[in-house]
Amino acid sequence: MQASKAYEANFDGLVGPTHNYAGLSFGNVASRSNEKSVANPKAAAKQGLRKMKRLADLGFQQGVLPPLERPSIRLLRDVGFSGDDASVIARAAREAPELLAAASSASAMWTANAATVSPSADTEDGRVHFTPANLAAKLHRAIEHGETRRSLGAIFADEARFRIHHALPGTPALGDEGAANHTRFAREYGDKGVEFFVYGKSEYGQGPQPQRYPARQTLEASRAVARLHGLSSDATVFAQQSPDVIDAGVFHNDVIAVGNRTTLFCHERAFVDQHKVYDELRTKLDALGTPFTALEVPESEVSVEDAVSSYLFNSQLLSGADGRQLLIVPQECRENARVAAYLDSLASRKTPIDEVLVFDLRESMKNGGGPACLRLRVVLDEAERAAVNARVWMNDALFTQLDAWIDRHYRDRLAPADLADPKLLAESRAALDELTTILGLGAVYDFQR
């Protein structure tokens, strides 16, 4: 039964002032292949901001999530560097540049990894639940969840409507990568749905595992999040990602699959026992009176390598007010001949995808993050939407403010060696201090020294 009108809002992460290519993410092909190249933080932030504005102009609910404080002086002090802030950075640059790189990463821009979100229609207590991801597989991301929780708390502050959990314990056995390995199917956003959790391995069970790159999400973590959110077993499906595609660079499920309402768009090699996965989704959705369509892309038309290089599946699949589905893809999809040919054929195939929109997200893509990486999906009914911090919703005025803010505070060139510049910390803190006023975030940053 549909409770009330609801919307899927996308909350995109603003790219932070320390956006750089340090190549920190083993298993992420783009991240490692662009290691040590020069980044343009200003261009990166503006590319993401323009995507947000375009989608808001098209009528989609579009919010903004702030960057985290970087470089993280807290991390550097926790690993033994002392003195004033400039001394901490200088010593880390000399003695452990890899730790300075981790402390300076702007990876929180990819808010698909910020948390897993379950809407109130699915949860036992009727609240929207958030569990920040512990991101235990990578140091530069494992330090994010406490700050992420504070940001979410500043935006979704009404405890009667929103429940923000703590991250799972930060151990590999409970490795949790957030919404990048989670999607949800429902006839309408406000209906009760089926939540789809994808994992790379089971820490304690038997089953195939990747051999080249690590599996970051565990079955145990996915089940724990489902329990925390009060989800019923008849409305959850847990599927294992194919180990061979992880070894091909598919480090999260959203590099090989994307879902929306009643449609799953994925590669034919996405999951272990793929057709059994479809059958379980179809059966559980059928019990809710909800249809299900799997739009499967064959290897013969688009290889896994093509999918990884173009990020075809790291796209946003969105339903407009008229019910038409839009696929939001990066421009790299147009630069890959096989992927472009597949996209051009969608209209003649009579698929659930009605239109393809292309965006320039080159700076994010070079670090391994496409349109889907940049957004966190949050289904909200009208009352819940009204309870969100109103100043984070994208509109003409906020776009103008943020565009000018980026011009004031961001560099147009940043190489990994520039992370040793103590001025970068002062610039970043000045930017974030002003951002708290623009977005009405209060004391979300503690500028820990």
Residue-wise pLDDT tens digits, 96-133: 999 999 999 999 999 999 999 999 999 999 999 999 99
Round to whole Å and give the CA distance between 169 and 173: 9
- Whether the CB-CB separation of 42 and 96 falls below 8 Å is answered with no
Question: What pLDDT does residue 166 have?
Answer: 98
Is the pLDDT reported for residue 435 higher than 60? yes
Q: For strand 293-297 and strand 316-319, is the pairing parallel, antiparallel, or unpaired?
A: unpaired
Respond yes or no on whether the N-terminal peptide bond of residue 71 is cis (omega within 30° of 0).
yes
Is the pLDDT reported for residue 217 higher than 70? yes
- pLDDT, one tens digit per residue, over 147-182 is 999 999 999 999 999 999 999 999 999 999 999 999
* Burial degree of 344 (CB within 10 A; 0-12, 13-18, 19+): exposed
- pLDDT, one tens digit per residue, over 253-307 is 999 999 999 999 999 999 999 999 999 999 999 999 999 999 999 999 999 999 9
Model confidence at 1, in pLDDT bands (50, 70, 90)?
Answer: very low
- What letter represents residue 98's amino acid? E
Closest C-alpha among 375, 296, 361, 329 to residue 30: 361
Model confidence at 35, in pLDDT bands (50, 70, 90)?
Answer: low
**How many other CB atoms are there within 10 angstroms of residue 206's CB atom?**
6
Residues of the chain with pLDDT > 90: what percent?
Answer: 90
The mean per-residue pLDDT over the stretch 371-383 comes to 97
The mean per-residue pLDDT over the stretch 183-205 comes to 96
Has 252 been annotated as catalytic?
yes
Q: Which of 177, 195, 220, 427 is catalytic?
A: 177
Q: Which of 129, 229, 252, 409 is catalytic?
A: 252
Q: Which domains does the chain have, with CATH numbers?
A: 6-439 (3.75.10.20)
Is the pLDDT reported for residue 206 higher than 90? no
Residue 313 DSSP one-character state: S
Global confidence as pTM: 0.95
Residue 15 DSSP one-character state: P
Question: What pLDDT does residue 30 have?
Answer: 45
Has 165 been annotated as catalytic?
no
Residue with tokens 């599946």: 313
* C-alpha 96: how far from chain center: 29
- Whether the CB-CB separation of 9 and 196 falls below 8 Å is answered with no
Q: Which of 129, 144, 145, 373 is catalytic?
A: 373
Has 434 been annotated as catalytic?
no
Is the pLDDT reported for residue 47 higher than 80? yes
Tokens of 60: 């989609």
Question: What pLDDT does residue 251 have?
Answer: 87
Q: Name every residue whose Cβ is closer than 8 Å to that of residue 101 and which is 6 or more positions away in sequence.
A: 20, 22, 24, 140, 416, 419
List helix spans (H) across 106-254. Answer: 139-142, 145-155, 219-228, 243-246
